[in-house]
Structure 1
């Protein structure tokens, strides 16, 4: 596994095809295993229901690849969304599931977050995995790298944070978070009547800067360097660094926010995108309900799923039911 030592910067629902029909009523023989089919029955009680319904798809993808790259968002995916960013914590069972999966051969795990890399790495607390912070502008796989355009914009980001802190000081609940190469303005705790003022202030200040752009997420406004870079590019970079050139690995991305859609779009039909939560607007073909269901998927992958990776290459055939 990659050495991720950082420099001084230090429910019961699961993957389910997104569609117009109720996934619980699906009868597609290609994606819904027969109730009497042979399979990892001992694990059934621990597998969220919709993963069982799509087990053929998941297993067939695993069998068809030589390794597994699992990329995970943090807030809303590994950890529950909290009102204050500093309150977000990863439950110990989820941390153990991440570490156990990462220890498997031919498996790489990465956490891809909008948080500063040092922050998310400390919160996850698993040393031998890769991390992408600030939506991938900072990456630590084999070594730590930061996008050069992001480095050049740090002073402007810091200045904008100071200006916004002063301008929004009288609005209760607003949080201006300087994350080094990006910044986030949180308005989850702001009264609804005051949110437009927060948005207007941020938009006005950013509009006057050529090297900073504005994006949005769940109750947040993101100030980023004006460079075409997102979580999709981060996953592409991680794949290039972590996957052997001569091997075909299955990329899996799990996330809950609008910022994760870039990663889902990148995977398209070349991997498995899993949306966390019930927001209907997503490019991901599968769903889980919440971070507890994410943990269940990670545990299933560790305990059973990895056994299917490249099974046809090892044995000449594989049981996929």
Structure 2
């Protein structure tokens, strides 16, 4: 993570028996960027009663693979997510461009919430689909069939029908053929008023023409998961351009964490890779939650 500097706020020395620990023992793995910004992070935790952690999947919980069906969450990461979700006053959600059923199966944790297709599908207390998106399913299926026919001669292209959206993957396509894929998708979408085109890492995405994105998904999850009248800290972790909507939504009240070194992000913090994400989740579970709504007199000097 980047930005923020440590400072001493002049509070009294804490009682060793009651103070939350700011940092783990020497054997506990914690990313350097997290240590560099410990003061700012602890300050936010102290100022809130609970924690909502929303996590992208590909490139965040799992490494990006050449084929989308090969992506898998490591066991240690799954354990870190489960441990964090098990805390009181903590809710965890996975927010993905994948179809909800797909990402839920890959994560495999029943005690977290899910948002699929960039939030057009949400499962918190119950399963919901955006009504405009549901109406578009047949059109999306027809567009997928047209694109498969038109791009049949392009090696490596994958047209994925995700129900209420579709993704055209060109990571495996030769560089000289990528414009052929892009032009075909753009030309098809240009003939439709009910579908819009967005882009991500080596993908083109066809979505219903509705103003909905991962930012709106996080807002909806916050409304559903946070008890009325309580002030929880929203945290969003993601690596792709589609995650910028969530970073923009959080602004000052939340913590946005960009995974990787892509420039031009709205997130104020960064970590290097999915392994660093796992370490952050572990720190939050083992130490960070202890600062939620903590008495400042018991917070170690120099952390908040």
- C-alpha contact 1:44 1:52 (8 A) present in aligned 2: no
Q: Give the alignment partner of residue 75 of structure 1, picking from 48, 51, 58.
A: 58
1:228-253 CA-partner distances (Å, limit 9, x unpaired): 00000000000000001110000000
- C-alpha contact 1:187 1:220 (8 A) present in aligned 2: yes
Name the SS of the counterpart of 2:82 in structure 1. Answer: helix
Is the counterpart of residue 212 in structure 1 residue 195 in structure 2? Answer: yes
1:18-69 CA-partner distances (Å, limit 9, x unpaired): xxxxxxxx8x4449xxxxxx84241674110010010000111001100000
Give matches, 1:158-237, under 5 Å.
158-237=141-220
2:221 aligns to what? 238
Q: Give the alignment partner of residue 92 of structure 1, picking from 71, 75, 78.
A: 75
2:120 aligns to what? 137
Q: Distance in 1 between matches of 2:227 and 2:148?
A: 46
Is the counterpart of residue 105 in structure 1 residue 88 in structure 2? Answer: yes
- C-alpha contact 1:117 1:134 (8 A) present in aligned 2: yes
Q: Give the alignment partner of residue 292 of structure 1, picking from 275, 299, 303.
A: 275
Q: Distance in 2 between matches of 1:230 and 1:49?
A: 31
Following TM superposition, where does structure 1 have runs of at least 4 consecutive aligned residues deviating by more than 6 angstroms?
none
Q: Distance in 2 between matches of 1:177 and 1:251?
A: 31
**Alignment TM-score, normalising by the size of structure 2:** 0.93
Distance 1:250 1:43, change over 3 A: farther
RMSD, matched Cα: 1.5
**Alignment TM-score, normalising by the size of structure 1:** 0.88
Q: Distance in 2 between matches of 1:43 and 1:236?
A: 37
Which structure exhibits the higher relative contact order, with contacts defined as CA atoms closer than 8 Å and separated by 6 or more residues? Answer: 2
- C-alpha contact 2:170 2:202 (8 A) present in aligned 1: yes
2:289 aligns to what? 306
Q: Distance in 2 between matches of 1:98 and 1:210?
A: 40
1:278 aligns to what? 261
In the TM superposition, what is the alpha-carbon distance from 1:196 to its structure 2 partner?
0.5
Distance 1:63 1:43, change over 3 A: farther
1:175-228 CA-partner distances (Å, limit 9, x unpaired): 000000000000001011000010000001111111100000000000000000
Name the SS of the counterpart of 1:57 in structure 2. Answer: helix
1:81-122 CA-partner distances (Å, limit 9, x unpaired): 000000000000000000000000000000000000000000
- Count of residues paired in the alignment: 290
Is the counterpart of residue 319 in structure 1 residue 304 in structure 2? Answer: no
